[in-house]
Amino acid sequence: MSKKTFTAQDIEDYITEYRATGGKPTGRFEGPTRLLLHSGHDADGRPHIVPLSYFADADKDHCVVLAINDGLDEDPQWLRHLRAHPEVTAEIGSDTVRLTATEIHGEERDAIYARHAERFPILLEFQSATTRVIPVVALAPTGSA
């Protein structure tokens, strides 16, 4: 489980399908609830957009994303961008919203990860495949983009 699951073309195809269906991809792209995170720019100046599964938290006004990076030992690029610039935008369904990212640590992080791993056991496999603690990030809305 230590290699990337999706190619750049897979991600590009997913983004196209996501936008064409108002955030409800079908066929091979059907699956968990996802958003398109705009987390900054790549080295070549192109916008960095990444589809991420997210989990709504009914008790809070934010959702959470997990920086899994397919169980690799380095954090994903989007997380490095968020740490440098926590004010981001995301496409959620057919809406574009502004969000503030906050990394969650300690017992709160552990509880959130465990809760989602109960529903999606593959999260335990991703955690065991890496030496790092997989970060959990809260994304709180700050308005429409």
Tens-digit pLDDT string for the chain (145 aa): 445 677 889 889 999 999 999 998 887 777 778 999 998 877 787 888 999 989 887 666 789 999 999 889 999 999 999 999 999 999 999 999 999 999 999 999 999 999 999 988 999 999 999 999 999 999 999 966 6
Please tell us whether the domain made up of 8-141 is placed in CATH 2.30.110.10: yes
Q: Which of 46, 88, 43 lies closest to 65, judged by CA?
A: 88
Give the domain ranges of the chain.
8-141
CA distances from 74 to 1, 49, 95, 110 (A): 14, 19, 31, 19
Could you count the other beta carbons within 10 Å of the beta carbon of residue 88?
21
What pLDDT, on the 0 to 100 scale, is given for residue 61?
Answer: 79
What pLDDT, on the 0 to 100 scale, is given for residue 73?
Answer: 94
- pTM comes to 0.88
What pLDDT, on the 0 to 100 scale, is given for residue 118?
Answer: 92
122 close to 113: Cβ distance less than 8 angstroms? no
Q: What distance in Å separates the CA atoms of residue 137 and residue 101, rounded to the nearest whole number?
A: 6
What pLDDT, on the 0 to 100 scale, is given for residue 104?
Answer: 96
What pLDDT, on the 0 to 100 scale, is given for residue 105?
Answer: 97
112 close to 104: Cβ distance less than 8 angstroms? yes
